[in-house]
Amino acid sequence: MKVQSYLAFDGNCQEALNFYSDLFNAEIKNRQTYEDAKIDIPNSFRDKLQHAELNGKGVQFMAYDASPDTPINHGNQIHMSVDADSRQDAEKVFESLSKGGQIHHNFREREWGYFGRCTDRFGINWMVNSEK
């Protein structure tokens, strides 16, 4: 299992990642836009980042532009992300994290695997993933 941070941006994720990439001498990897996403999103937002990763010596995190229906507020710009080794492990972690908290996206199958998003009872935002 792997746990890491996931930063949310308000339409300027690429600009931020370029800045962090230069600052930390890191590489932007797995860059995906909303272009081919099968979700209801305005055409003007299709070129924004649905997912990207910054990797370098001593730095590793993920980032995205939150969709227009997910407003950015101070406190929800960072999510902890869990990449579980199996669907069963991911479901167990998601159930535990969401108990007593708030579920934002039910844990279910998505285009890339299984995913759920919640805020735990301590106010920490979590994204839980596993491959298919």
- The secondary structure of the chain, three-state, reads CEEEEEEEECCCHHHHHHHHHHHHCCEEEEEEECCCCCCCCCHHHCCCEEEEEEEECCEEEEEEECCCCCCCCCCCCEEEEEECCCHHHHHHHHHHHHCCCEEEEEEEECCCCEEEEEECCCCCEEEEEECC
Spell out the residues 6+ positions from residue 90 whose beta carbon is closer than 8 angstroms to its own.
82, 84, 107, 114, 116, 128, 129, 130
Higher pLDDT, 48 or 73: 48
Lowest mean pLDDT, pick from 38-47, 81-90, 101-110: 38-47
**Domain 2-130: assigned CATH number:** 3.10.180.10
Judged against a pLDDT cut of 80, whether residue 75 lies above it is answered with no
Q: What's the pLDDT score for residue 36?
A: 82
48: pLDDT confidence band, cut at 50, 70 and 90? Answer: very high
Average pLDDT score over residue span 5-19 = 93
Residue 59 and residue 3 in contact, taking contact as beta carbons nearer than 8 Å:
no
Q: Read off the pTM.
A: 0.76
pLDDT of residue 108: 97
How far is residue 122's CA from residue 117's CA, in Å, rounded to a whole number?
Answer: 15
Residue 72 has pLDDT above 90, yes or no: no
Task: Delimit the domains of the chain by residue range.
Answer: 2-130
